[in-house]
Amino acid sequence: MTRNDDSDRDADLGSDLPHDLQTLCRAIAGGKRAALARGITMVESKHPAHRAKADLLLQALMPRTGGAHRIGVTGVPGVGKSTTIDTFGSNLTALGRKVAVLAVDPTSSRTGGSILGDKTRMARLAVDENAFIRPSPSSGTLGGVAAKTRETMLLCEAAGFDVILVETVGIGQSETAVADMVDFFLVLMLPGAGDELQGIKKGVLEIADMIAVNKADGEGAHRARAAASEYRSALGILTARSPVWNPPVITISGLTNEGLDEVWANITLHRAKTEASGDFKARRQEQQVIWMWSMLRDRLHAALTENQAVRARLQTLEAGVRAGEISPSFAVSQLADTLGL
């Protein structure tokens, strides 16, 4: 498509939207970072009016989405996710890529607060004009994934970012949520942590597209190679997610930039193979359906908590359950009757 064709397409972009949304839509499509940040804030909002506007915005921008590499990165705290992403992302921007990092911070279950410190942990990407870092609180969602991460990915793609990195909290919750929204799921592991398979959930290995043992530099190099051998053995007895891809296990150092070229080579090879086999398209389509059901559950839950009559009934039933006067199953039945279900 020529530059003139791009201009014509942008001129018609969001033409059915209200003027303020039309302006925002075109600014995001034009790669304006401030507009992208405003759009993300809109989709993250819990206000009903903002949600309605966000739906219109996303629908208008949908034709400009879908072309990016969507990569999930997980690992236990201390494995070096932020350092690795900072180095890896800088490598990609040096190759001319535009990289967006969606870094999900843990949210306190007591206070609702989060640290949101990833920009300080990714010093190079934070000042890179071809990178965009958006720290978002996980808000208690399964797998430590921000509730609006999928929508944020689409906005970043519409703004021209062609590599999306989703960094998860990695605190032992289910990582399935992240695997259901990315094309490639990278699991970082630590070397020399005693029994290399101790505490590693089988489920995480089953959904990994690659395992990278980090901190394989200096004295850690030998321990990293030994750990990688253990993981290869573990993967050998599991069924791969795709018939055209066997997850590799490599050693890397995010600190010294060792092995990260191999990570990118495998990501691009994985995409080429899965696109050729049709697995890539099928996976994206299935993710869309999963996303739809996830949003439906969110909307139904919101309807329960926002309706005053239902909320009052919920409080009464909850008090009864807490006091041991009624069973949880009976409370659910009563609420279902109230809703006409």
What tens digit of pLDDT does each residue of 35-81 get?
999 999 999 887 888 888 999 999 999 999 999 999 999 888 788 99
How far is CA 109 from its chain centroid?
20
**Residue-level pLDDT at 7:** 47
What's the CA gap between 55 and 65, in Å, rounded?
Answer: 15
Select, from the ranges 126-140, 283-297, 302-316, the one with the highest average predicted confidence (pLDDT): 283-297
Residues shown for the chain = 341
**Residue-level pLDDT at 216:** 93
Give the domain ranges of the chain: 3-62, 65-276, 286-339
Maximum distance among all Cα pairs of the chain, rounded to whole angstroms: 70
Contact 28, 159 (CB under 8 A): yes
Contact 338, 313 (CB under 8 A): yes
Label residue 128 by pLDDT band (50, 70, 90): very high
**Residue-level pLDDT at 147:** 64
Residue range 81-87: mean pLDDT, rounded: 93
CA torsion, ordered 94, 215, 201, 208, to nearest 10 deg: 30
Amino acid identity of residue 149, one-letter, is T
Q: Which CATH class is domain 3-62?
A: mainly alpha
pTM of the model: 0.83
CA distances from 294 to 101, 305, 324 (A): 22, 17, 32
Q: Which residues pair with 332 in a beta bridge?
A: none
What are the tokens at 251? 């050693």
Q: Taking all residues of the chain, what is their mean pLDDT, rounded to a whole number?
A: 83
Name the pairing type of β-strands 69-74 and 184-189. parallel
What is the CATH architecture assignment of 286-339?
A: Orthogonal Bundle (1.10)
Residue range 94-99: mean pLDDT, rounded: 97
Sheet strands side by side (includes 249-251): 131-137, 99-105, 163-167, 69-74, 184-189, 210-213, 249-251
What is the CATH architecture assignment of 65-276?
A: 3-Layer(aba) Sandwich (3.40)
Q: DSSP string spanning 221-244? A: HHHHHHHHHHHHHHHHTS--SBTT
**Burial (CB count <10 Å: 0-12, 13-18, 19+), residue 15:** exposed
